[in-house]
Amino acid sequence: MTLVTRTVFSVPQLLAELAILGVVVAALVGVHALLQRRFTSEMLRRHNDVAGYLFSAVGVLYAVVLGFVVVVVWQKYDVSVSNVENEVNAVGDLYHDVDGVSEPARSEIRSDLRRYVVLVRNVEWPEMARGQSVPVDGAQLLDDAFYRVNTFAPRDFQQFAAQQASIQAAQRLVDARRSRLVVSVPAVPVVLWFALIAGALAMVAFCYIFGVENRPAQLMMTAILVGLIGILFVVIQAFSTPFAGSVRISDDGWAYLQHRLPTIK
């Protein structure tokens, strides 16, 4: 059983982020325009040689750090998608594996799994989308199902084989759930955000101290630089929280299980 997890784009939230980015770009370009009126281009051009060397060094360093952060958050997002798929598949596998377990254990385990699917989709997913901690009810349901699998006493080899397969599926399910909750925490700490923002302001400051004869073109270059850095900030923010924000992991797999599991006999 393999399910592909989609990525959902929240258009209103994405437009809001881009609108904020547009305001920031306009504000920083406006500051640059005011500085151009305050200082003549001849005065600023005196420092272009020194500023150029420093700008190159700082720019390379900042580009490396910014690119590294983008790669890290993308890898985390990719791992999160894989964890969700593994968890969904483990639920489906366990539901089928207990087919060889006799009653009433089979019905009790399957009931726990159906309730778990509903809980994840209707409670945990919205909580993670809001950046909140999930309740412990899901973990309790898995503990109950795992306990019933472990304490089941097989009476023949077929039931023994079903129990062993169920134990392995239950272990994968518990591990996948734990991994999902771990990676739901934002990947970029506050101190790293501070460093990224400070680096971005330093890059903009260098744009301010350059003297260029064509001042409108210089303002356009400043806008392009600020816009590019801002877009990368939006990407980092979106992928550092895989279950929230404008780009998040969908609950398609859980919706499929919620519809499919009750029809399995």
What distance in Å separates the CA atoms of residue 7 and residue 23, rounded to the nearest whole number? 27
Entry field: residues in the chain: 265
CA distances (Å), 5 to each of 2, 13, 18, 138, in order?
10, 21, 26, 20
pLDDT tens-digit map of 163-176: 999 999 999 999 99
Looking at per-residue pLDDT, the higher value among 41 and 184 belongs to: 184
For the residues 19-48, what does the mean pLDDT come to? 84
Runs of H (alpha helix) within 137-250: 137-151, 157-183, 190-209, 215-240
What is the three-class DSSP state of 169?
A: helix
Q: Residue 5 pLDDT more than 70?
A: no
pLDDT digits (tens, 9 = 90+) for 212-242: 778 888 899 899 999 999 999 998 988 888 8
2 falls in which pLDDT band (50, 70, 90)? Answer: very low
Q: Residue 43 carries which side chain, given as an amino acid letter?
A: M
Mean of pLDDT values over 86-111: 92
The pTM (predicted TM-score) of the whole model is 0.81
Q: What is the mean pLDDT of residues 178-185?
A: 87
* Average pLDDT along the chain: 87
Q: Are 200 and 229 in contact (CB under 8 A)?
A: yes
Structure tokens at 88: 């969904």
Query: What type of residue is 151?
Result: T
pLDDT score at 132: 84
